[in-house]
């Protein structure tokens, strides 16, 4: 086997969550006379991040530095992502500082991850500062970036805050999707009083833009308008709500799966393998 083959084995083990196997392949690779490169170490760090193991991610980073392998932006994006998934804002900030120390310019993925980490920690002011820093760096925001900011306000029923970011999203030419629309249904449900008219207007907008409702969107809409009105809307718009109904637990599982898939698509678009 050559270096590329070993790299594939390291990556496969990391994706499968078999980090001990991944480390063994790194050791075997070295024993066979091959020097692991930045892609191999990035596989290790990404694997640790998926397991929310920030200590392992740091150990792999230290191994890479000790081997005189220079980290790149993909390595730092993996470190930031792992810290954010583990809800370790302090760790994410340390990697953000290290990233700048190493002279690595953050990408949209880097900023989006940091914005998400800050909103989840309730630090919206810093999250919004990061957004404007990103724009000042001539980087274009994407739907994931805006989604994190809208979600902060949506969970608190802050309609003006959520709609402020919706307008910015529109100004940037970013089209809404079912994830963003569901966040707005949640926002209208959490508002006091509930924003029923806004929710129904959003439903009309979704039909106009051909944004298909999923189970999460239907459940969020029902929270706003109530069961009877929801069933009426389903009849008006020929929505088979029975096929989208699910328990709260299953709905939350689906939403998490959709968000993971949504974020994974952004990660894949910005992966080192894809950039070759």
Q: Are residues 157 and 248 in the same domain?
A: yes
Whole-angstrom distance, CA of residue 141 vs CA of residue 37: 31
Domain that holds residue 164: 153-267
Q: Are residues 172 and 257 in the same domain?
A: yes
CA 205 to chain centre: 25
Torsions phi, psi for 99 (to 5 deg) = -60, -45
Whole-angstrom distance, CA of residue 136 vs CA of residue 199: 34
Q: Are residues 169 and 85 in the same domain?
A: no
Given 72, 88, 105, which residue is the final one in a domain? Answer: 105
Domain total in the chain: 2
Exposure letters 7-30 (e unless 16+ CB within 10 A, then b)? bebbbebbeeeebeebbebbeebe
Q: Are residues 158 and 98 in the same domain?
A: no
What is the per-residue pLDDT for 230?
96
pLDDT per residue as tens digits for the range 162-178: 999 999 999 999 999 99
Q: Are residues 158 and 257 in the same domain?
A: yes
What is the per-residue pLDDT for 1?
75
The DSSP secondary structure of 194-248, one letter per residue, reads --HHHHHHHHHHHHHTT----HHHHHHHHHHH-HHHHHHHHHHTT--GGGT---H
Q: Are residues 26 and 97 in the same domain?
A: yes
Give domain status of residue 80, yes or no.
yes
Rounded to two decimals, the pTM is: 0.84
Q: Are residues 15 and 72 in the same domain?
A: yes
Given 80, 105, 130, which residue is the final one in a domain? Answer: 105
Q: Are residues 94 and 196 in the same domain?
A: no
Give domain status of residue 130, yes or no.
no
Given 70, 105, 140, which residue is the final one in a domain? Answer: 105
What is the per-residue pLDDT for 246?
44
Q: Are residues 80 and 3 in the same domain?
A: yes
Whole-angstrom distance, CA of residue 114 vs CA of residue 96: 8
Q: Are residues 85 and 164 in the same domain?
A: no
Q: Are residues 249 and 193 in the same domain?
A: yes
Give domain status of residue 199, yes or no.
yes
CB 53 within 8 A of CB 251: no
Q: Are residues 79 and 170 in the same domain?
A: no
Percentages helix, strand, coil for the chain (3-state, rounded to 5) are 75, 0, 25
Give domain status of residue 133, yes or no.
no
Give domain status of residue 121, yes or no.
no
pLDDT per residue as tens digits for the range 85-135: 999 999 999 999 999 999 999 999 999 999 999 999 999 999 999 999 999
97: number of Cβ within 10 Å: 10
Q: State the angle between helix axes of 178-190 and 248-269 in degrees (0 to 180), rounded to the nearest 10.
A: 140
Whole-angstrom distance, CA of residue 200 vs CA of residue 52: 39
Give domain status of residue 248, yes or no.
yes
What is the per-residue pLDDT for 114?
98
248 prior amide bond cis, ω within 30:
no
Residue 51: give its domain's CATH number: 1.25.40.10
Q: State the angle between helix axes of 38-50 and 19-31 in degrees (0 to 180), rounded to the nearest 10.
A: 170
Residues (pLDDT < 50) of the chain are 246-251, 275-276
Residue 140, class by beta-carbon neighbours within 10 Å (0-12 exposed, 13-18 middle, 19+ buried)?
A: exposed
Give domain status of residue 140, yes or no.
no
């Amino acid at each position: 086997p050559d270096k590329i083959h070993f790299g594939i084995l390291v990556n496969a083990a990391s994706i499968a969550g078999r980090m001990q196997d991944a480390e063994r392949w790194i050791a075997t690779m070295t024993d066979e006379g091959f020097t692991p490169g930045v892609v191999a170490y990035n596989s290790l760090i990404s694997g640790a991040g998926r397991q929310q193991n920030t200590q392992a991610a740091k150990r792999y980073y230290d191994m890479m530095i000790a081997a005189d392998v220079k980290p790149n932006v993909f390595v730092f994006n993996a470190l930031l992502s792992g810290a954010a998934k583990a809800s370790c804002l302090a760790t994410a900030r340390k990697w953000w500082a290290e990233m700048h120390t190493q002279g690595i310019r953050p990408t949209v993925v880097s900023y989006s991850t940091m914005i998400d980490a800050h909103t989840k920690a309730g630090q919206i002011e810093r999250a919004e500062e990061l957004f404007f820093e990103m724009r000042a760096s001539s980087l274009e925001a994407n739907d994931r970036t805006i989604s994190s900011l809208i979600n902060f306000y949506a969970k608190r029923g802050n309609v003006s805050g959520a709609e402020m970011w919706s307008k910015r999203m529109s100004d940037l030419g970013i089209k809404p999707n079912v994830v963003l629309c569901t966040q707005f249904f949640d926002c209208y449900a959490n508002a006091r009083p509930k924003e029923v008219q806004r929710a129904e207007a959003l439903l009309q907008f979704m039909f106009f833009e051909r944004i298909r409702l999923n189970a999460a969107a239907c459940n969020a809409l029902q929270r706003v308008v109530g069961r009877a009105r929801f069933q009426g809307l389903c009849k008006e718009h020929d929505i088979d709500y029975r096929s989208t109904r699910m328990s709260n637990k299953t709905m939350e599982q689906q939403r998490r799966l959709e968000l993971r898939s949504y974020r994974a698509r952004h990660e894949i678009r910005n992966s080192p393998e894809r950039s070759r």
